[in-house]
Structures are given as C-alpha cells and as structure tokens.
Amino acid sequence: MDTSEVEKPSMEKKLQDSFKYEPNQSPKAKKPSKPANKPSSSEKPTTSPPKPVEEKPIADEGNWTHCKLDWLKPQKIRDAQKRRPDHPEYNPSTLFVPPEFYKDQTPAHRQWWEMKSSHFDCVLFFKVGKFYELYHMDAAVGVNELGFSYMKGEFAHSGFPESAYGRMASTLVSKGYKVARVEQTETPDMMQERCRKTGKNSKWDKVVRREICQVTMRGAQICGLQDNGPAEPTAAYMMAIAEEESNGSSTYGICFVDTSIGLFHLGQFQDDKHSSRLLTTLAHYPPALIIYDRKTSARTTKLLSTHCHSARREPQTLWTPDKTLKTLAEKYYRTNADGEWPEGITPFLHEGDALGLTPAANCYLAIKALGGVVSCLTDCLLDIQILGMNQFTSYSPPDVLNKTLSQEVKVENRWEGGSTMVLDAITLRNLRIVQDEGCLYDRLNFCSTHMGKRLLYQWVCAPSCNISVIKERQNAVKALFENQELCQDAKSILTTLPDLERLLAKVHALGNLKRSKQHPDARAIFYEEKTYSKRKVLDFISVLNGFTAALKLVELFSDADAKLLKRIMQFHPDGKYPDYRETLKFFKEAFNQKEAEKEGRILPGEGVDQEYDNTLKLIQEIEAELKEYLSEQEKYFKCRLSYVGTDKKRYQIEVPVNAAAKAGADYNLEGARKGFKRFSTSDTKDFLARMIAAEEQKTNVLKDLSRRIFEKFSSHYGQWETAVQCLATLDILLAFTEFARQQSGDVCLPEVTYDEEQKPYLNIVEGRHPCIPNIADFIPNDTQLGTGDSSLLLLTGPNMGGKSTLMRQAGLITVLAHLGSYVPAEQCKLSLVDRIFTRLGASDDIFSGQSTFLVEMNETAAIVTHATVHSLVLLDELGRGTSTYDGTAIASGVCVELASRGCRVIFSTHYHSLVHHLSSHPGIMLGHMACMVETDESTPDSEDHIPEETITFLYKLSPGACPKSYGFNAARLAGIPKEITLRAHQISKNLEKEATCVRAFRDIVKMQKPNDGSYVPAEQCKLSLVDRIFTRLGASDDIFSGQSTFLVEMNETAAIVTHATVHSLVLLDELGRGTSTYDGTAIASGVCVELASRGCRVIFSTHYHSLVHHLSSHPGIMLGHMACMVETDESTPDSEDHIPEETITFLYKLSPGACPKSYGFNAARLAGIPKEITLRAHQISKNLEKEATCVRAFRDIVKMQKPNDVRAMLAALSI
C-alpha cells in the first residue's frame, strides 16, 4: 500500500528519525509535485524504489505551524460550540476549527483536524500505511514524552511503526494522557472502487477512510490485541457519580467498572454532610477515572479533587435515566423480542414497566450514573465488548442496612451487625491498611496470582463479621500452616497461572459477534494482523493451559479436611470447584495447539464447529465425485489418467497421446506436454466451480472460526469465573500462611466470639505491630479493653514512647482477626467488632476551607454519631488545634460519652488535666507508655542549666498515668539549640508552678474557647529578598522510622532554628501540640523569642493564650488575630442545660491584638458533635476558665520560681 499521503522520511533522513527504518519498511517518498510539508490528495499504489526528497530544516520549537494559528492561542481558543474556557459549559475535549481553515488543508490533514476538533483532549495516533503518525501539538507530546525526534518540515511531525502501538499507548496513558487510535478502514483500491460506485471524485473523496477505533486512558484500558491492558494487577476503575443535594447533604448514584474485567457495580445511597460513604467507596474501589455531572455541587467537586488527585476527572453532562435505559434497550439488550435485561440490572428497574424503561423509585441516580459510564465506554468504543459481558451487581456502602447478614446467619451468630466490618476512608488511611507503602495490604500480599491480589484488596477493605466465615478461614490457614510442603506445591502451581480473570474478559470480547461486525476495528487495515492473530491464539492457549494446571490443585487438595479448602478445591458434592474437565478436554482437543501457535490460526478437528464441518463435508463430497468421474474416464480411455492444473485451471484430465484420439467434441483441449494432452469437460468445469465455491465458503468460515470458538468457550463463563474465584481464595489463604511464617515472634489464631449477654472485649497478649518489619528488639504489649469494668484506656506517655504504635497495633490486629489470619501475638481474644474508628495525626483541608481542628472535629463527630457498643475507637490527642481549655473540655466530653456507651476505646493524650479530671471515672482506666528517667543531679537546676535527663523508652504499656510528657527530650533529640530549650525549660517550670496552685483550690477554678481563619489576596506587596521559606504546618507521625508526631514536629522546628537567617520567612502553625501543655507552650515560647531576636520574618499561629499573654510585651513581637463578629443569644441564660447560642461570622481579616477566645465549640457544632457532649464540655470549659482567672489574680504571689504557701495565697485573695 502506498503511504505517501503524508510526507514520510526517505532513507536519507533515517538518522534524524525516531525509528531506524529498514529498506523494506521505509515509507515511499513521492515526487514533490506539491509542497512537501502537506499530504497529497490521493493514495495510489507505487512500486518504485524509495527516492530521496528535498530535506527541509526542522522548525524551531515555537515556530511550528500550529504555534502560529491565531485561533489556537490561549486567549482565542474555543470549544466546538465556540465557548471560551471561562464559560460554565466549556467543553475542553473539543476545539473550534474555523471552516475556512479546512479549505487550505490536504484531504488527509483535513481528516486529522476534523478528528482533533472532536477529540482535542486526545493524542491522535493517526495511521498512515504501516505507521502511526503524530502531527502538530501531538508530535510535541511524542517528542517530549516518548523520546521521538521531529521529522523535517514546517509542521511538527513524528511517528512510529504499527508494531510499537501497545508500548507507546501504555506509556502515554501511564503519564496521564488520553490516546485515540485512528485506523485506515479501506485500502486505496477500496477507495477507488468507492469513488467509482458513488461517482464522487473530488479531492476530498479521493482519500482513504479513517475512523477512530479506540480511545484509551487510565480507567478505560482493556486487554486487547494491540495492547495488554493495565500494567498493574490491581483494579483500575472507571467510576461515574450522580448527585442530588438537599439540606447540606447529598444522595449519590454510583456506577463503577474495571474495564479489564467487565463487572459493573451499581448503587445509590444517602450520605452525610461530610460525604463519608462516598469517601469510603472511593477508598475501597479507588478510581482511575471519575466521570461526574457538570452540575455536581462545589463541595463534592472539591472532595473529588482533594481525595482523588491521582485520578483523571472528567465533568460531563450525564445522560438522563430515561435516555440511559432506552439506549441500553435498543442498542444492547432488547434488540429483539427475545432480548432480556441482565439479571443485575432488573432490581433497579420499575416493576410496573414491562419494557424496563423506567428506573425504580430510589434508583434514579444509580441509573443516571450508569448512563455516565455507558456514555464514556461508547466514546472510547469499548461499549459493545464490555456491556456484552452482561455482568452487573448491586453496590451499597458497607454500613448500609442492605449489606447486613441474612436472617439465618443472624440467628446462627446472634449478631445484628453487618456482614463485614466497616472501615471508612479515614480509618483505611490512618491505620495504613491500603495504598501507603508498607501498609497492611503490602504485608499480607504474598499472593502468586493477579486475581488473588485483587480479591485480597477487597478482603482487607471489608473484613468479615461472620463468625462462621472467620472460623472456616482460620481452620484452612491452620491446615496450610501445618503442611509447608503442601503450601510450596500449591504456590508453585499458582505461580504458573496467567491472569485468568482478565484473559476471560479478553476471550469473551474476541468472541463477541456484534463487535466482529459493528466495531470499526472489523474494518481496519492492519499490517501486523498475523502477529495479532498469533497473540489471540496464544492467549486462548494460555487460558486453556491455566485451567489445566488448576486441576492439579484440585488433585493436590483431594484429601483436605478443612471445610473451606474442601469447598474451594474439590468437586461436587464435597466442594464447589466446577468440574470443567470434559469441557476443557473438548477445547484442548479441538485443534492442534502447536500448529496454532506456529501459524496463528485455529484449524478445528471434526465435531468442533458445525459450519466448518459442513464445508469440509462438501469439499469431501466434491473430491469423491471427482475421483469417481476420473475412474469413469479411465474406463472410457482404457488407460490410467490423472488431474493436472492449479488454481482456476485445476481438474484438467491429462490423457496419453496414444489414447487422446478417443476425445470427442465434448472434450476441450486445454494444453499439452510431451506424450500427453490435457482436456476439460463441462463436468470438470462444474466440479471446479463447485470446489472454488466450497473453498471460498471454507475460507469465510475460517475467518470467523476463532471468534466462534471463543464465543463457545465464553458460553461457559459462569464455571470459569467460579473457578477463578476459588483459585483467588486459595491464593489468599496461602498468603496468610506465608505472612504468619514470616513473623519473627509468636503468632496465634485469634478467638473471635460474640455473645449478646457478654460485654464486648479485646484481649491481646504480647501483641506486635503487623506492619513494622521484623525487628529483634521490638517490644510486644498487652492490650485489654472491656475485660474488666473499664472499656476505655486513657493513654499517656512521653513523646516517642510508642502510643501511636500501640493504637495502630490494636486496630490492625483486630482487622487481621476478622480476616481469618494469624496475628502477631502470643494470644488474642476478642468479641466481634462492627467498625473501627480512628482519629490519628493532624492535617488541614485547605481546598475545602477546613482547618486542622475542623477536620479533627468532623472525624470525631462521625465517631460519636455512629460508634456502637461493638465498635473499636482509636483517638490520638483529641483537642489539639484550639485553646488548651476548649481542647481539654471537648476531649473530656467525648471520653465520657464513649465510656458510657461501652465502646472499646484507646484515647491517647498529653492533657494531664484531662487525666486528672477523668481518673475516677468507673468506665475509664489509666495507662501509660513506660520509660526510665535518670537525672544528673551533679549541677543544680538553675536559669543557666537544665539537669541532664537520660530517658530510656521501655515501649511497654503500664498501668496509671505518666507524670510528664518529656517534650524537652524530643526537642533535644531533634537538635533544638540549647539556649532555646533552656529558656523554654524556665517557662515550663513557671507554668507548672501556676498549675500546682490551681490544683490546690480546684473547687474555685476551671476553662475557655476557639477559631478558624483564612487570608485574603493583597492589593499591593513590597518585600525585601527572602533567602528561604520555612514551614511547620499540619502533623503526622513516621511510624516506620520510629518518630512520633511530636518528634517529626521538633525535627522540622530544629531545621528552622538551625538554618533560618534574618532574610528568611518562617511560617509556624500551632507549634507545641503533641506534648504536655506546659512543655508545648514553653518550647513554642522559646522558638518565638529566638526567631524574633534574629529578626526573621515570622508568622506564628497559636491557640496557647498563655503564650500570647507571656510574649505580649516582647519588643520584637506584635500580636494579630483573624477577626470575627460574635452575636450571642442572651434570651436564655447560660446554665448546665443550655449554652447561649453564638452566631459567629468569620471576617477573614487580619486585625491587631490578640483574639480573646478560640471558639472551639463552634467548630465542634459545625462538625456535628452531639449537643450533650458540647454541653458537658462547655461546663468543663467554664470551670477551667475560672481557674485561669484565679491564677492571674495572684500572679504576683505565685511569681515564677517556687510555690508559695497556700494559706498566704488564700489570704491575699480574701478566700
């Protein structure tokens, strides 16, 4: 085929091109009768050898033709509807191309621009002969991302051979691009014939037709002939979301599908104002592509951009449910009277509509979301093959009622919770269960197969709450653990298996009759067709061999006793592994595999394909007639005869010359050779015509034969898929076994129980963190919740003492127990846990306008709203990010509420006043992470010296409260300069003395309130040069390097005070959180004074009002606050049963002076903390505020050194 439609490189240009063309591969160059930089108007074949073309220099990067087009410049660009980017309905996937521009283009370039106009967001791989060409802005992508070189000419141009498509497409897709594959769908001869038939011979008609055959992007990848689908074994979902907002919360319709497998998940659910269920769905089924309506609320749009930043997000105008159902019915499922809806869709259709064209009452948004996915699949030309799988299933978030256990199982287990434990997005992130490096999924993932890895991800996100399921898994894992040889044999077989789940989808697509007739790929001209055919056959053989190998596993586990192993690895009646032996035998014997691998085509044996058998029978009948006819002619001529000739001259009768005289008028002389003459007759001509027709019929049957065999194979899809799920389950059980073997310490199978009469409990003996690599000196710990009177552990301890590790350890061991795995502990007993809640670390959400504290309050609100007596709650330092009083009060209120519910709770804190306040609560027990402190007393404590403390962390949970948090130890370890820690130490001592006084008359004293703010853009800005910007914002620990949240904070602070100069800009947010109030305030004060003395430009935000008071007179420090207006409803007086309603209007304006309060209760209310908790916290806050007032009243008596006599203080206050 001639490929000169667009100028191609000659042999002289090969050194500059990105691919080195061999002589027999090089595209032909045409005589430059037209400008060499434009495609010619026709495509006529040529057999002339390649000739050099005049080389034109490569244009400069910014001087390409497309860079000069005025309507392509950012200030002029428009979509196909002429809308500018600032228009609310602007469609970035289209481009307006002026009609007059097309007139100056060659026919091929006109094709390109027409396709680019409707697919502006795609990189076009534009087929020209044997090559995919990239033009204009797409050529620049090829050069920059794929390492191509520009070809000569005025317009940007690069390309690659057809055989490299899969590699090039997957590389661009992995980098976030969207690729459209454009194929020629007719040859030049076909084009000429079309022009002849239609009588249209303009230059626009005399160009081969091209069509977009596939659009590929992340979330829309399949295992096709030219590409191998997603590179990662994990699922990459295409997800569509439809929203209906009401009263601050939303109802969502959702549909998602892994296009490489073809199973659609469809659902609709009501969500809270934080979109908790949507976030959980996004975490359980992480999307690679999100399709959402252009009218989606700003809140949800921000949520998607914040939590799915790595996913491709495409706003669209979603189809209405009516259009969705009508399209599905007319195009896919109800195309004839016998057509039926797939079983998984029928629950979403209105029962009163016999045609199924109306969605059910509560499924409107679900069908709308389905329309979003179908529309995207259609645009990507994947709709026929994926919808043709007919695989649909209902989806509900794990906490929704319709995901609960069946009534029979409820009766058996006496459990009213759901069938799986609820792990929301926050918990998955905080416990590092999935996605993070070194997460629980990574530690468990010893799977040998890709389908096992995908199923394990779903198990880990939704551990079972069915005791029968848990015990069956435990028994299976135990049996495997005790037979290492069996495990090794099984894993050696599993390792050989291909990704059967994805290959089944591929075989199903290749067997789709509708796709073979209607998809543009059926019309495409491929030059590597033999390669693709061979790949197709090899994939099918790989599937057959994979299921054959799997039968060895059935044989291997034939004597298994564990109930689950029998179910997944034995045939009926003992198990559910499908007995496909006869079916598999049929397909394995259906054709010669070696021949098929060699030739890339399937030639079936007898009985495999009826159409093929019929054509063979017809040919055999003609051959028999020919043989009989020849026998008759031998009798007539009385000598031996034979047929000679080839192709259309076959079946000529060769007669010896001495017998040829008998040939009468019915014999036509066709030729002769020495001693022989060749004749044809009307009969031999009839035989030849019939044979040619039969052979053409055979050829046509063979063309479609592979598809029919694949279709026949896919008709057994149910049993193949069942086998895949059984194999994936076995793979996970073996992974659990290997996980247990990899542990350096004791492991055990937990005893999971449920008794409605018994108080929920958790008892871990010598437990270890499952995700911390095996360290010989890792200190195991006991964790007991609910085993006695107390279900809440109030945990204190020094910074870096192991509090966060202990909390995560308890959560992860609980997850492992519900998975049915061994756990790293000497012993573990627990009652079922319906949900794990976590509030760990600290971070703001600036994109949704939420401060660190509001994020913390939102998470806490979800806990106190949804936690039940069966929940496990892990709360780390609740109350940071607002004033000490408000934080302590809110933490106290939440603690008391959770303790009264009987939840199993670990609550870590550095608020020692909170510990003191709750120490006598009957439902709360005190514990701390122990340490040994050795103090050097050789030099007395003074203003110039801090006694050296050597702290040895014991990492052991011990009863009682920790007396101190040892924040200065973390500061020293982080490298905070000595003069700062010295100053801070003195401030801390003074604050402690004040607190000692306060505790002496607790009945007189107690608490205060918080706020939130943001910046506004400046009208003018002047500044001197800044050499470096330092920041200390948010908070998170680094568990794998053994650093607590506070030590991470101190390390960052140490870097600041070490390197900051007078020219630096320093931004410090709430420094001092994560240790005791005294240590935190003192360290913050020391850092403030140091930076002020250096003259750095510093913004230091804090909720420590005592810090503000202490530094208010410092000459290098000015006070400012983010202003707000507060209106208080005084109609009902403040009392124990009522908090005066405060309406706070944030002015977002920086104002001079300090803010009197932090208004933390406002954030708590906004987050939805229940009223009874905020009421209780408000009373505590008032008491603490009274204490603070008392302290200020006798500041002159208390001073800053030694505690005064209490009597003297009381006398001075007239108390």
pLDDT digits (tens, 9 = 90+) for 530-542: 899 999 999 999 9
Work out the pLDDT band at 1213, boundaries 50, 70, 90: very low
Say what the pLDDT of residue 676 is: 93
Determine what percent of the chain is predicted with pLDDT higher than 70. Answer: 82
What CATH number should be reported for the domain holding residue 1094? 3.40.50.300
**Residue whose entry in the numeric block shows the structure tokens 């020849």:** 630
Q: How far apart are CA 478 and CA 472, in angstroms?
A: 10
Q: CATH number of the domain that 64 lies in?
A: 3.40.1170.10
Place of tokens 């573990």: 828
- 653/676 Cα distance (integer angstroms): 10
Residue 442 falls inside a structural domain: yes
In a domain, 30, yes or no: yes
In the numeric block, the tokens 């806990």 are attached to: 863
**Cα torsion through 581, 583, 584, 590, rounded to 10:** 140
- For residues 765 and 1153, the model is more confident at 765
pLDDT the model gives residue 28: 33
Range of lowest pLDDT (593-607, 1017-1031, 1197-1211)? 1197-1211
Which among 176, 175, 174, 146 has a CA at the least distance from the CA of 161?
146
Residues 984 and 1047 both lie in one domain: yes
Which structure tokens are listed for 529?
A: 């067709």
The encoded tokens of residue 298 equal 């700003």
What is the average pLDDT score of the chain?
84
User: Does residue 1166 share a domain with residue 1186?
Assistant: yes
Q: Indicate if the pLDDT at residue 135 is higher than 90.
A: yes
Judge whether residue 868 has pLDDT over 50.
yes
In a domain, 599, yes or no: no
Average pLDDT over residues 412-423: 76
At residue 1051, the pLDDT reads 81
Segment 74-112, tens digit of pLDDT? 999 999 999 999 998 899 999 999 999 998 899 999 999
- For the stretch 904-930, pLDDT in tens is 999 999 888 888 888 889 999 999 989
Task: State which amino acid sits at residue 739.
Answer: F
Q: Given CA atoms 755, 758, 759, 762 in this order, what sign does their dihedral have?
A: negative
In which residue are the tokens 């949900």 written?
835
Whether 4 is in a domain gets the answer no
Q: What is the CATH number of the domain that holds 629?
A: 1.10.1420.10
The pLDDT tens digits of the residues spanning 383-400 come to 999 999 999 999 999 888
| pLDDT: which is higher, 785 or 1175 | 785
Q: What is the mean pLDDT of residues 719-729?
A: 97
Residue 435 confidence (pLDDT): 82
Residues near 275 by beta carbon (within 8 Å), at least 6 away in sequence: 250, 252, 299, 300, 303
- Whole-angstrom distance, CA of residue 305 vs CA of residue 370: 21
Per-residue model confidence (pLDDT) at position 1013: 35
Mean pLDDT of 654-677: 92
Regarding whether 457 and 319 lie in a shared domain, the answer is no
pLDDT digits (tens, 9 = 90+) for 521-577: 999 999 998 899 999 999 999 999 999 999 999 999 999 999 999 999 999 998 999
pLDDT for 1206 beyond 60: no
Q: Residue 685 in contact with residue 488, Cβ under 8 Å?
A: no
User: From the CB of residue 270, how many other CB atoms can be counted at a distance below 10 Å?
Assistant: 14
More confident residue, 431 or 1030: 431
Q: Which helix (H) or strand (E) holds 929?
A: strand 924-935
Predicted pLDDT of residue 39: 40
Last residue of a domain, one of 216, 249, 272: 216
Segment 629-642, tens digit of pLDDT: 999 999 999 999 99
Q: Which residues contact 703 (CB under 8 A, 6 or more apart)?
A: none
Handedness of CA 668, 670, 672, 676 (dihedral sign): negative
Q: Kindly give the pairing relationship between strand 157-161 and strand 179-184.
A: unpaired
* pLDDT value of residue 1032: 77
pLDDT at 667 over 80: yes
Q: What Cα–Cα distance (Å) separates residue 867 from each residue in 182, 415, 419?
A: 55, 16, 17
**Residue 952 banded pLDDT, cuts 50, 70, 90:** confident
Question: What is the distance between the alpha carbons of residues 575 and 554, in angstroms, rounded to a whole number?
Answer: 10
Mean pLDDT for 457-463 is 96
Q: How far is CA 94 from CA 90, 157, 603, in A?
A: 9, 21, 46
Helical axes 1160-1167 vs 1171-1193, angle rounded to 10°: 170
What does the DSSP assignment read for 975-1011?
T--HHHHHHHHHHHHHHHHHHHHHHHTTTT-------
1091 pLDDT more than 80: yes
For the stretch 181-227, pLDDT in tens is 999 999 999 999 889 888 887 888 889 999 999 999 999 999 888 88
CA–CA gap between residue 767 and residue 743 (Å, rounded): 12
Residue 604 DSSP one-character state:
B
Whether the per-residue pLDDT at 1016 is higher than 50: the answer is no
Q: Which residues are registered as beta bridge partners of 928?
A: 796, 958
Residue 223 lies in a domain: no
Do 787 and 887 belong together in one domain?
A: yes
pLDDT of 740 strictly over 70: yes
Q: Is the peptide bond before 573 cis (omega within 30 degrees of 0)?
A: yes
Residues 530 and 495 in one domain: yes
pTM of the model: 0.81
Q: Are residues 803 and 666 in the same domain?
A: no
pLDDT digits (tens, 9 = 90+) for 793-804: 999 988 888 899
605 is a domain residue: no
The answer to whether residue 982 scores a pLDDT higher than 90 is: no
* 266-280, 1110-1124, 1148-1162: least confidently modelled range: 1148-1162
Query: What local confidence, expressed as pLDDT, does residue 727 receive?
Result: 98
Could you identify the residue written with the tokens 């009060």?
889
Domain count, the chain: 5
Q: Are residues 153 and 97 in the same domain?
A: yes
The token pair that represents 814 in the structure block: 């609980």
135: helix, strand or coil: strand
User: Which are the contacts of 1146, defined by CB distance < 8 A and separation ≥ 6?
Assistant: 1011, 1012, 1013, 1014, 1122, 1124
The alpha carbon of 252 is separated from its chain's Cα centroid by a whole number of angstroms, namely 19
Structural domain contains residue 405? no
pLDDT of residue 21: 32
| Domain termination residue (choose one: 365, 381, 399) | 399
Per-residue model confidence (pLDDT) at position 98: 95
Domain shared by 697 and 721, yes or no: no
Q: Is the pLDDT reported for residue 15 higher than 50?
A: no
Instruction: Please give the structure tokens belonging to residue 911.
Output: 């608020």
In CATH, what number is assigned to the domain containing residue 306?
3.30.420.110
The pLDDT of residue 1090 is 87
Q: State the pLDDT at residue 239.
A: 98
Domain span holding position 82: 11-216
C-alpha span between 62 and 48 (Å, rounded): 36
192: Cβ contacts below 8 Å, ≥ 6 apart: none
Check residue 413 and give its pLDDT. 57
Contact 750, 829 (CB under 8 A): yes
pLDDT 10s digits, 877-887: 887 777 777 88
- Please check the confidence at residue 11 and state whether its pLDDT lies above 70: no
- Residue 668 pairs in a beta bridge with 680
735 and 801 fall within a common domain: no
Q: What is the pLDDT of residues 594-615, one digit of tens each?
A: 888 888 888 888 888 888 999 9
β-pair partners for 907: 794, 875
- Residue 4, pLDDT > 60, answer no
**pLDDT 10s digits, 303-332:** 999 889 889 999 999 999 999 999 999 999
Instruction: Tell me whether residue 344 is in a domain.
Output: yes
Query: If you average pLDDT over each of 43-47, 307-311, 470-474, 1061-1065, which comes out highest?
Result: 470-474
Angle (nearest 5°) at CA 343 between 338 and 344: 140
Residue 347 clears pLDDT 50, i.e. is over it: yes
The secondary structure of 208-239, three-state, reads: CCEEEEEEECCCCCCECCCCECCCCCCCCEEE
Q: Rounded distance, CA 918 to CA 1083, Å?
A: 27
Confidence at 48, pLDDT banded by 50, 70, 90: very low
**At 362, phi and psi to the nearest 5?**
-105, 25
Confidence of residue 653 (pLDDT cuts 50, 70, 90): very high
- How would DSSP label each residue in 497-534? ---HHHHHHHHHHHT-HHHHHHSGGGT---TTHHHHHH
Judgement on whether residues 72 and 145 belong to the same structural domain of the protein: yes
How far apart, in Å, do the first and last CA atoms of the chain sit? 106
* pLDDT surpassing 50 at residue 1003: no
- The verdict on 194 and 276 lying in the same domain is no
Domain identity same for 252 and 280: yes
Q: Please report how the helices 717-742 and 467-481 are oriented relative to each other, as an axis angle in degrees rounded to 10.
A: 60
